[in-house]
């Protein structure tokens, strides 16, 4: 019989005094800029790179399976420009199969140290072979061999089976260049909406949404 989780493990909501200390310790920031979502994202990502202790480019990717049941996992952002947000994966993985069947996704960046998050929703398309080849070439050799060895999201009999496949991949390529596996590539999420969220005291957060429109973006501010 399982034990009841210890309720003390969940932090209590901040008290009014704690919120007041937050207010007195920092000047209210100016409102978020409505000019360009990708410029604003670049500014936030740069600051996250300076202050987040681990993986400032980490993002949650949400997809849906054939039953419409949501599925989410953390991946690493590997490129971003006005065309969208790019990550790479095994195409036979759960997310790879789900995106092939339903090319829509949502992303979430959460920078806890900065008390900020960015939400993205949009359509998905594969990157070009040239893009995938170029990025794959930058990966460390053991990671390249791992991409050949791993049948991502498939059942693994035991750890030895994976290590054996890695050794086999190493023998296959020897000391030569490791080519990109045909089952490994990238996806680009072209955003339809991008929401910037910034923490403010008393849960009165700032929310700014960019919506793609003909020839540009429209903006809207939301209640917290």
- Residues forming the active site: 203
Alpha helices (H) in the chain, listed in sequence order: 16-25, 37-51, 94-101, 129-136, 141-149, 159-173
Find the Cα–Cα–Cα–Cα dihedral 68, 73, 79, 83, rounded to 10°.
20
* Closest of 196, 189, 188, 190 to residue 219, by C-alpha: 196
CA distance 155 to 71: 18
C-alpha neighbours within 13 Å on the C-beta side of residue 145? 19
For residue 171, give both structure tokens: 């023998």
* Closest of 129, 111, 133, 36 to residue 80, by C-alpha: 36
* Closest of 209, 24, 10 to residue 117, by C-alpha: 209
């Amino acid at each position: 019989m399982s034990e009841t989780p210890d309720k003390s493990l969940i932090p209590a909501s901040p008290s009014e005094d704690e919120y007041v200390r937050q207010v007195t310790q920092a000047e209210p920031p100016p409102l978020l800029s409505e000019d360009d979502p990708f410029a604003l994202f670049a500014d936030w990502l740069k600051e996250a790179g300076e202050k987040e202790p681990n993986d400032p480019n980490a993002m949650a990717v949400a997809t849906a399976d054939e039953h419409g049941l949501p599925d989410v996992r953390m991946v690493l952002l590997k490129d971003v420009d006005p065309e969208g947000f790019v990550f790479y994966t095994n195409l036979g993985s759960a997310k790879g199969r789900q995106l092939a069947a339903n090319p829509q996704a949502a992303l979430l960046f959460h920078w806890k140290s900065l008390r900020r998050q960015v939400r993205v929703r949009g359509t998905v398309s594969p990157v070009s072979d040239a893009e995938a080849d170029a990025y794959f070439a930058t990966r460390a050799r053991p990671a390249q061999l791992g991409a050949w060895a791993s049948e991502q999201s498939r059942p693994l009999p035991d750890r030895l089976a994976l290590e054996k496949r890695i050794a086999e991949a190493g023998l296959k390529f020897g000391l030569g260049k490791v080519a990109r596996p045909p089952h490994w590539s990238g996806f680009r999420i072209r955003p339809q909406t991008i929401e910037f969220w910034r923490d403010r005291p008393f849960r009165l957060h700032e929310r700014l949404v960019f919506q793609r429109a003909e020839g540009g973006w429209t903006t809207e501010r939301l209640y917290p």
